[in-house]
Amino acid sequence: MKAKIYIKYKEGILDPQGTVTNKALKSIDIKGIESIGIGKYIEMEFDKNISKDDAKKIAEESCKKMLANPNTETYSYIIED
Amino acid sequence: MKAKIYIKYKEGILDPQGTVTNKALKSIDIKGIESIGIGKYIEMEFDKNISKDDAKKIAEESCKKMLANPNTETYSYIIED
């Protein structure tokens, strides 16, 4: 059982890393991108005995209590077998 | 048109940030996680006139030439309207 967790900045929060990355892409002639937002992608592998419901609870609690900054970030996740 | 890009370490590449994060979660009593891998989640918003085919090409080229480190990372992406 595995969770794939996606964390990104909330709308309206400045993302300087994304802005600079877009500039860097333009500088090597990759064009057509309006904006880039850079967040975290976390793969969480669970112990063998963990059920799908448990996995959901653990992923939710991990995001809420540690992985995402509630002031500036939003998170979502999917659970996979 | 938007690309959602996921970058993670290749199998077998040491991910110290993931290891430490799992320890930190255990320390606040979140258990049942075998391992954690931490990568990047990039949302790329394209200019209005970009087609789906163009978007795919731009995402691919961006990953190949800049966003992912070919020595240590793998990438995947999906294109969304």
Output the tens digit of pLDDT for each of chain A's 81 residues: 999 999 999 999 999 999 999 999 999 999 999 999 999 999 999 999 999 999 999 999 999 999 999 999 999 999 998
Interface test with chain B among A17, A20, A26, A44, by most B beta carbons within 10 Å: A44
In chain B, the domains with their CATH numbers are 2-80 (3.30.1280.10)
pLDDT for res B27 = 97
B66 touches chain A (CB under 8 A): yes
Whole-number pLDDT of residue B2: 97
Write down the pLDDT at residue A34.
97
Q: Which residues contact A49 (CB under 8 A, 6 or more apart)?
A: B32
Phi first, then psi, for residue A14 (nearest 5°) are -65, 135
Query: Which pLDDT does position B4 carry in this prediction?
Result: 97
The pLDDT of B5-34, averaged and rounded, is 96
Tell me if chain B has a CB within 8 Å of the CB of A47: yes
Q: What three-state secondary structure class fits B23?
A: helix
Pull the structure tokens for residue A79.
């659970």
Task: State the average pLDDT over residues B30-40.
Answer: 97
N- to C-terminal Cα separation, chain B: 4
B34, B44, B48 ranked by CB distance to A47: nearest? B34
Residue of chain A nearest B26, judged by CA positions? A62
pLDDT by residue (tens digit) across B38-78? 999 999 999 999 999 999 999 999 999 999 999 999 999 99
Tokens representing A36 are 């880039």
